[in-house]
Structures are given as C-alpha cells and as structure tokens.
C-alpha cells in the first residue's frame, strides 16, 4: 500500500497546478509523498481533448515528483455532491491515507470548484467513520481521517489564512502548468482563445504568486484558507 503524506483533491486537471503545485513540489523535495486525485477530465474545456488532458496530467505529475495521480471520471460541470460521489472520494482518502488534504477554493469563478471543496470536506469526515463501508479491489477499507484540510486559492483572490513560501519551487510549478500545453497561451495554436489561454492570464498567475510572496517577505507564495484556528508547536516555525 502506498501511503501519501499530502493529497490534493481537484475538480479539474490543472486546478492544482494553477493554485498549489509549488506547495506539493516543496513537500516532495522535503521527502514527503504527494499525490493528486482529479475528479473530472475537464471534458467541457474549450481547447484540447480529455485524452490529451490525461497525457498532460501525467506529464505534470512527473514534473512535480508525485507518487500518485488518479482521475475519478466524474462529469465535468455536472457532478453533484451526493452519497455516490462522496463514497468515491472516501475510497481515495482511505487508499492513500494522507495526513493533509488540499482542496479546491471554497468559492470560485467556476462553480465546480466550490462544489468540489464541499464534496472533499464531507468525504474527509465520512472517511473517518467506521460504519461508512467501502471496498477497493474487493477488500474492505479501514477508516481514515486526514489531520487537516486546507483550501487553495484559484481565481477569486480570497484572503489567505496562511501563505507557503514556494520561491524554491516556483519554476517547477510554472513548468507543471505549461505541461497543459493545449490549455494555455500558444501563439501557434489555431484553437479558440479562452479565459485561461490569453497571455494576460499567465501574468495574473505570476503576479498572484508575487503578491502572496510579498505579503510574507519572500519572492513567491501560495495562499490557503482554513476553517479553523491554526496551532503551532513553537513560534520559531513561523517565517
């Protein structure tokens, strides 16, 4: 069995890359095991194809040094937060037993993001209940509750509750974004321009990282929100 230290859940392939891939890459460099479970294949995306997006996801996973990346094949745009979907996510949480879960923004431009955030949070809770029964590959799964869930920030600039210094992995994060070649700016592409394919969009991503970095006195940062008070062992942990 592969146990992960940190697991990012995402509505669409590329949500993690656009929000918190620097944090995952940094965890990997620190010797942690990291993974991503994408809920949909982003089949409603204007550019590229779901097949291409799966190849791009795998390429990005390699760049980030992930130990696992899976796709649940939920319906892009139309998946719902019901028992069936919650149990599919519970199976992944129990399979990988992460200490920390990163989830979509609590509220965002794309309605799937807030929906996925709620679904992730409920699945993390249900996963810890012994009477919620799940099976994977014919075997009963043991309950598992992650220690913490942090929501990353994507389109809407939420006020972060904490910011991770990702200066050392910013370049890796940008490479992981550009692994999604069909989605982002490519002057040679004949596909229609979208919200995320304009050159302006990449400038926004860069400036968001600089802005969060600036707030904690480093070059690049990634912000997260959390629904409870944060505790620390020692003030020396803070930068």
Closest approach of Zn ion to the CB of residue 90, in Å = 22
Nearest approach in angstroms of CB 194 to Zn ion is 12
Q: How far apart are CA 182 and CA 170, in angstroms?
A: 21
Per DSSP, 67 falls in state: S
Q: Is 53 in the site for Zn ion (CB under 5 A)?
A: no
Nearest to residue 146, comparing CAs of 2, 1, 4? 4
Report the residue number, 110 or 173, with the smaller CB distance to Zn ion.
Answer: 110
Check: CB of residue 118 under 8 Å from CB of residue 112: no
Among 7, 12, 105, 205, binds Zn ion (CB under 5 A): 12
Please identify which residue in 4, 6, 8, 15 interacts with Zn ion, judged by CB under 5 A.
15
* Total residues at interface with Zn ion (CB under 5 A): 4
Cα–Cα distance for residue pair 200/184, rounded to 1 Å: 11
CB nearer Zn ion, residue 109 or residue 203: 109
Residues paired with residue 222 on neighbouring β-strands, in sequence order: 164
Helix (H, G, I), strand (E, B) or coil at 50: helix
Task: Report in angstroms how near the CB of residue 143 gets to Zn ion at its nearest.
Answer: 29
| Min CB(154)–Zn ion separation in Å | 7
33 versus 69: smaller Cβ distance to Zn ion: 69
**CB of 104 or CB of 141, closer to Zn ion:** 104
Structure tokens at 2: 């592969």
Alpha-carbon gap, residue 28 to 35, rounded angstroms: 10
- Rank residues 134 and 155 by Cβ distance to Zn ion and give the closer one: 155
Q: Is 16 within 8 Å of 102 (Cβ atoms)? A: yes
Which two tokens mark 166? 């990702």
Of 3-11, 123-131, 161-169, 222-230, which segment contacts Zn ion by CB under 5 A? Answer: 3-11
Q: Which helix (H) or strand (E) holds 163?
A: strand 162-165
Q: Which residue is nearest to Zn ion (CB)?
A: 12
Question: Which residue stretches of the chain are H helix?
Answer: 21-29, 50-64, 83-96, 111-127, 170-178, 199-215
Least Å distance between CB 104 and Zn ion?
Answer: 7
Stretch that binds Zn ion, among 12-20, 30-38, 190-198, 218-226 (CB under 5 A): 12-20
Residues that bind Zn ion (CB under 5 A): 11-12, 15, 110
């Amino acid at each position: 069995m592969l146990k992960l230290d940190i697991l990012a859940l995402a509505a669409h392939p590329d949500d993690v890359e656009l929000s918190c891939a620097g944090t995952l890459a940094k965890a990997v460099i620190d010797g942690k095991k990291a993974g991503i479970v994408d809920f949909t294949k982003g089949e409603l995306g204007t550019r590229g194809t779901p097949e291409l997006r799966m190849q791009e996801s795998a390429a990005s996973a390699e760049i980030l040094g992930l130990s696992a990346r899976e796709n649940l094949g939920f319906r892009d745009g139309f998946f719902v937060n019901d028992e069936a979907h919650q149990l599919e996510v519970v199976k992944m949480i129990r399979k990988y037993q992460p200490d920390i879960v990163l989830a979509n923004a609590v509220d965002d431009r794309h309605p799937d993001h807030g929906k996925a955030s709620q679904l992730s949070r409920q699945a993390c809770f249900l996963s810890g209940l012994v009477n919620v029964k799940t099976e994977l590959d014919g075997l009963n799964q043991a309950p598992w509750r992650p220690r913490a869930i942090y929501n990353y920030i994507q389109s809407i600039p939420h006020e972060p509750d904490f910011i991770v210094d990702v200066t050392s992995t910013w370049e890796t994060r940008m490479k992981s974004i550009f692994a999604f070649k069909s989605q982002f700016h490519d002057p040679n592409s004949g596909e229609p321009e979208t919200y995320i394919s304009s050159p302006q969009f990449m400038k926004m991503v860069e400036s968001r990282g600089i802005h969060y970095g600036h707030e904690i006195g480093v070059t690049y940062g990634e912000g997260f929100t959390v629904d409870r008070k944060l505790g620390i062992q020692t003030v020396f942990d803070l930068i």
